[in-house]
Structure 1
């Protein structure tokens, strides 16, 4: 496997493959980074913020693509990112413009698999979550409520948990532990 240089966007959020997130950019360095990414100078990765340490993010990130952008009323830029491929950050350094550049290695994405049996509850609950949060649903042109990996990853992106706890689940070889976790969480609130 080949390593790849990537610019890092670090936020207190999680973005996983096939997920989407809208990010507001205010710093001129970040705007220049977006221009460089769009010109193909390097790839972009989204990493979850870590409370302390250098770099200020966890070593698991997601290579992403910029799929949309909007200029906001205050002249800042909003970009919509779509997660593509999980990556491991091997090293990272901060440039003089305060941007983080990293050397990454691709990781295995979770494989698609059908949701069956009692796990259909987590799919139905996610559909309800999106009905209550239409701004998140608007980011997607298609939802894949029949795919256990897709549903599990969307739950990890939106659950109010510490990033370090989410990444324990993300770093599993498949979505099964996440499905069990979310199902138990939903059941505990129903009982």
Structure 2
């Protein structure tokens, strides 16, 4: 993987979900340690790291560092609302990916990760054979909007293979493990090709 040499400490938010670069993360936060994480990041204008909890036959647990996936995504807070005492409604944006070098659980129960940033996807246009999948995403966005759902942040970048692949991955009915593997792929065109193959196998695009 292409990564930068220096490491950065980030507070970690383990989830049974995968955040993609450029993606929207909407959460209701009520656990005390994560309320503290959000408050600290908001106050200090600092990002945090989102890592998926690895799925296993025993069931991954956020209390087990071995259950964390090796590649996560840095996130920045966009909006934080407090609809009632002890609950925060959070919207955050996915930034760049990172590899998790190590992690430590602090006294308050929060995990702090030593992370090394990975290079952003190279901006590459989808291939001609993938254009139906690009059109399919545009159609899906229109359908979702009619249904009152807008899961993607603007502006849209249909000319960017990585962006198209990431947005499809967010809404496809596939496992967390499959989404994690796709997110961690370095090649954005290859990621989009896997999505394209899946959609064609299901008859979503032709």
The TM-score by the shorter chain falls in which range?
Answer: 0.7 to 0.9
Does residue 164 of structure 1 match 2:177? yes
1:98-113 matches, within 5 Å, as: 98-113=109-124
RMSD: 2.2
* Corresponding pairs, count: 191
Contact between 2:47 and 2:77, CA under 8 Å: does it hold in 1? no
SS of the residue 1:133 aligns to: helix
> What's the CA shift string for 1:13-67, capped at 9, x where partnerless?
1112111111110112211111211233853011112133632321100111001
Q: Provide the C-alpha distance between the structure 1 equivalents of 2:114 and 2:47, rounded to a whole number of angstroms.
A: 10
Q: Provide the C-alpha distance between the structure 2 equivalents of 1:162 and 1:139, rounded to a whole number of angstroms.
A: 20
SS of the residue 1:161 aligns to: coil
Q: Provide the C-alpha distance between the structure 2 equivalents of 1:75 and 1:136, rounded to a whole number of angstroms.
A: 27
SS of the residue 2:179 aligns to: helix
Q: Provide the C-alpha distance between the structure 2 equivalents of 1:125 and 1:12, rounded to a whole number of angstroms.
A: 27
Contact between 1:155 and 1:182, CA under 8 Å: does it hold in 2? yes
- The Cα shift of 1:143 comes to 1.4
Provide closer, same or farther for how the CA distance between residues 41 and 5 of structure 1 changes in structure 2, counting only shifts above 3 A. farther
Does residue 77 of structure 1 match 2:81? no
> What's the CA shift string for 1:141-172, capped at 9, x where partnerless?
32112211101111222222223222333332
Cross-structure match for 2:166: 153
- The Cα shift of 1:12 comes to 1.7
Does residue 20 of structure 1 match 2:24? yes
Q: Which residue, 3, 12, 27 being the options, matches 1:8?
A: 12
Q: Provide the C-alpha distance between the structure 2 equivalents of 1:4 and 1:102, rounded to a whole number of angstroms.
A: 8
Provide closer, same or farther for how the CA distance between residues 97 and 160 of structure 1 changes in structure 2, counting only shifts above 3 A. farther
Q: Which 5+ residue runs of structure 1 have no aligned equivalent? A: none
Q: Provide the C-alpha distance between the structure 2 equivalents of 1:3 and 1:42, rounded to a whole number of angstroms.
A: 16
Tell me the TM-score normalised to structure 1 length.
0.88
Does residue 91 of structure 1 match 2:95? no
Cross-structure match for 1:177: 190
Tell me the TM-score normalised to structure 2 length.
0.82
